């Protein structure tokens, strides 16, 4: 299974994928990593693993549709079976998604449909929920609103702040994402 991973930042989820492939826990290949942020640390992780990297910045295009078309052209060049948004901080529209129907998934740090959008862990703490978590879902035109593939639950502990809760959720994200990709590849999703 050939994957393209879209990133904007740190890239710990990308690293979890690369490690799982390296260890033989995931029978797949990251064919390309594409970032919309030139200095995203995720690009360094990809380079270290010998994965081709690309950077496509929104500011170089006059419209969102043109930017997404460039992104889609780049992704298509890697002939992906699956496109993984792993900390990619932009909402994608039709110009991108119509090119890869049923092939784009995202990881989000909340138990969707609660706490969509930015700062999901902070939203969870502010709502006072006792259970938080993470979700892998198909990407549709909404914000974190596509069909849910799988989730992991994380207990909110007394004294948790955004940092401690995010760290515990992130650990589960890494496991969940690799597992969801494996199941997608096996035709079980």
Catalytic residues: 108
13 binds ligand GRF (CB under 6 A): yes
Calculate the alpha carbon distances from 116 to 22, 79, 120 in Å. Answer: 32, 30, 6
Of 11-19, 47-55, 90-98, 156-164, the window that binds ligand GRF (rule: CB under 6 A) is: 11-19
Residue 133 binds to ligand GRF (criterion: CB under 6 A): no
Residue 108 makes contact with ligand GRF by CB under 6 A? yes
In degrees rounded to 5, what are phi and psi of residue 160? -60, 140
Render the burial of 29-53: b for 16+ CB within 10 Å, e for the rest: ebbbbbbbbeebbbbebbeebebeb
Task: Please count the residues of this chain forming the interface with ligand GRF, following the rule CB under 6 A.
Answer: 13
How far is residue 141 from each of residues 76, 101, 102, 145, 189, measured CA to CA in Å?
19, 12, 12, 8, 20
Residues 45-84 that bind ligand GRF (CB under 6 A): none
Give the integer Cα–Cα distance in Å for 145 and 81: 22
Stretch that binds ligand GRF, among 47-55, 106-114, 122-130, 153-161 (CB under 6 A): 106-114
Pairing, β 29-35 against β 53-55: parallel
Torsions phi, psi of 147, nearest 5?
Answer: -55, 135
Range 15-44, binding ligand GRF (CB under 6 A): 42
| 87 contributes a contact to ligand GRF by CB under 6 A | yes
Interface with ligand GRF includes 146 (CB under 6 A)?
no
- According to CB under 6 A, which one of 21, 107, 132, 176 is a site residue for ligand GRF? 107
Residue in 12, 69, 151, 164 binding ligand GRF, rule: CB under 6 A: 12
* Residues that bind ligand GRF in the complex, under the rule CB under 6 A: 9-13, 42, 86-87, 107-109, 170, 173
């Amino acid at each position: 299974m050939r994957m393209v991973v879209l990133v904007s930042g740190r890239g710990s989820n990308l690293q979890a994928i690369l490690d799982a492939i390296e260890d033989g826990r995931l029978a797949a290949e990251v064919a390309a990593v594409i970032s919309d942020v030139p200095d995203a640390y995720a690009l360094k992780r990809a380079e270290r693993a010998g994965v081709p990297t690309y950077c496509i910045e929104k500011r170089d295009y006059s419209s969102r549709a043109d930017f997404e078309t460039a992104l889609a052209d780049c992704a298509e060049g890697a002939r992906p079976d699956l496109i993984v948004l792993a900390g990619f901080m932009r909402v994608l529209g039709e110009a991108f998604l119509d090119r890869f129907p049923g092939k784009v998934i995202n990881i989000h740090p909340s138990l969707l449909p609660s706490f969509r959008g930015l700062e999901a862990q902070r939203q969870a703490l502010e709502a006072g929920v006792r259970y938080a978590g993470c979700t892998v879902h198909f990407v549709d035109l909404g914000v974190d609103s596509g069909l849910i593939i799988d989730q992991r639950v994380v207990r909110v502990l007394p004294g948790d702040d955004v940092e401690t809760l995010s760290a515990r959720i992130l650990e589960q994200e890494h496991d969940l994402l690799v597992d969801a990709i494996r199941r997608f590849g096996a035709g079980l999703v």
